[in-house]
A and B are shown apart, each in its own frame.
Chain A
């Protein structure tokens, strides 16, 4: 546990890398172990509780149920205040009930089951992440009546947000999570006010409250059966530092009849979606920035297409991306 007390924060990482390489490795390994344990816990621990969500000075509380065993992973979140928005997930199938707009959105995640980035981090990918983020084990703190290990993931530039995570010392469940800007100020907080870790979750706790009767249902066809797009009319140059294109699919936007491309950029932690949709005569375009809590969206028009960039990244990142989109049909690279 020496890493807890090592004054890592006081010195830039590169000094450590040069002079105290092995020590850095040990400290990093300890941090990585905590994160990996958290990842494993999400795959085999059952719990339910009340999650308090703070965003833009608004506090909302939601009921959270999480079940994970050999039959799969199940989650259910329902807002306890105001409109009872609800998300129900079974493995890669995600269903969102929106009573406010009387809509239900059904979607399948591209990456099935327990695939996740952190289990791949043990090797070189963690080094890649460290180019953009600095990882620090912090002190212990009590959350929802439980001891939690704080982990700071600090962004090295203003293109991405950071995270402070409170991970249960015994069970490795994520008890609290802050999203931070470059100055380390909290932009969004999610915290369990109470949590019960249980042996089994009754089926009834996972059933959606809403039946969705009388709602309009939208279903996004599964991308997992489709090939990635290899050739696109679009290019993004330059990509924001540290981001790579992690997927490109053709699909129809939920509820839209116009085919579109959906690109996902990732720096390993943060994701940005870019939607390219052909504009038709009867559609009005939308342009400009729109903050939705910590998620920023930027709309722009390019070569007769509506381009929408959305992600849990700072506004300047989505805006910068909008200027990097190039229509490159028939143009030699």
Chain B
């Protein structure tokens, strides 16, 4: 049903494809009526969750969203676009693409049998940590108490993360970089808090689901814009 591999869709979502590739992939994704229907089904699932079922099924949802996106202000600016108008167009498409990609993957996985998405690995330790990984833990720990090259690198990245954040979400939307770094730092608090949450009994593993689901920074930008 879709030509691009999962990696390509993932890259599209993450904005890692170049502009030309972007354009081609988005065109390809939305050109297939199957994909557009899949998107429609996906939104039906989302609506069901939100208990806001439409009176009738709307298979043409995707084209209406695309039309709406054309009129949306740009949220994500690609780095230094040569032509602003072209950049805006690409950014709009990137948003559409990520929505589409999530939609299609979401529908696929819902019907996937167990095990297909999992990569079994050799059980080297009880937690499946590779020896290299374990030594990395040890190394980071060691170097936190003994100044060294790696520690300074870690500290540098931490310093980079210490960014002043304004309360204004509008300001956040206009300065993507600080939000990115802010995201990285808050991420650590979020993970630490949710990892430590000892009394999450009533919601079971949901705190972990929050870690897994915490939107990446460009999603944050979109939310900030709303």
Contacts and interface: CB of A to CB of B under 8 A. Distances in A.
Classify the secondary structure of A's interface with B. Answer: strand
A88 B127 contact: yes
B83 interface: no
Contacts of B186: 290, 292, 297, 310
Contacts of B78: none
Interface string A271-306: 101010000001111111111111101010000000
Contacts of B46: 54, 57, 59
A291 to B, nearest CB: 8
Contact of A211 (B50, B121, B158, B201): B121
Q: Which of B115, B126, B203 counts the most chain A CB atoms within 10 A?
A: B203
Interface string A79-111: 111110111111001111010110011110111
Interface string B74-88: 000000000000000
Interface stretch (A19-27, A229-237, A253-261): A253-261
A51 B205 CA distance: 11
A59 B49 contact: yes
B137 A217 contact: yes
A308 B161 CA distance: 14
Interface in A50-65: 50-64
A253 B188 contact: yes
B6 to A, nearest CB: 10
Classify the secondary structure of B's interface with A. Answer: helix
A213 B133 CA distance: 6
A320 to B, nearest CB: 15
B120 A207 contact: yes
A69 interface: no
Contacts of B216: 82-83, 100
A262 to B, nearest CB: 8
A295 B121 CA distance: 34
Contacts of A77: 205, 208-209, 212
Contacts of A282: 159
B128 A269 contact: no
A211 B162 contact: no
Contacts of B187: 98, 101
A314 interface: no
B199 A266 contact: yes
Q: Which of B159, B191, B199 counts the most chain A CB atoms within 10 A?
A: B199
Given A60-B213, A216-B140, A209 B119 contact: yes
B133 to A, nearest CB: 5
B193 A293 contact: no
A201 B152 CA distance: 42
A205 interface: yes
Interface size class of A (residues with CB under 8 A): 35 or more
A62 to B, nearest CB: 5
Contacts of A193: 45, 110
A56 B223 contact: yes
Contacts of B128: 88, 206-208
B5 interface: no
Given A53-B209, A310-B193, A110 B106 contact: no
B57 interface: no
A177 B167 CA distance: 30
B196 A204 contact: no
Contact of B209 (A42, A90, A190, A269): A190
Nearest to B137: A217
A39 interface: yes
Contacts of B50: 54, 186, 189
Nearest to A63: B117
Given A111-B198, A177-B206, A217-B137, A257 B144 contact: yes
B154 A117 contact: no
Nearest first, the 6 closest Cβ-Cβ pairs linking A and B are: A204-B120, A288-B167, A116-B201, A107-B195, A111-B198, A273-B193
Given A82-B98, A205-B118, A208-B128, 19 more contacts: A61-B105, A61-B109, A77-B209, A81-B105, A82-B10, A82-B13, A105-B195, A109-B195, A118-B201, A179-B203, A191-B49, A211-B130, A216-B140, A255-B158, A271-B199, A273-B192, A288-B165, A292-B215, A310-B186
Interface of A: 35, 38-39, 42, 48, 50-64, 66, 75, 77-83, 85-90, 93-96, 98, 100-101, 104-107, 109-111, 115-118, 153, 163, 165, 174, 177, 179, 186, 189-191, 193-194, 196, 203-209, 211-213, 215-220, 223, 246-247, 252-257, 262, 264, 266, 268-269, 271, 273, 275, 282-295, 297, 299, 308, 310-312
18 contacts: A38-B204, A53-B213, A79-B212, A79-B213, A83-B14, A193-B45, A194-B110, A204-B121, A207-B120, A212-B129, A212-B130, A255-B188, A269-B199, A271-B199, A284-B163, A288-B167, A293-B214, A294-B210
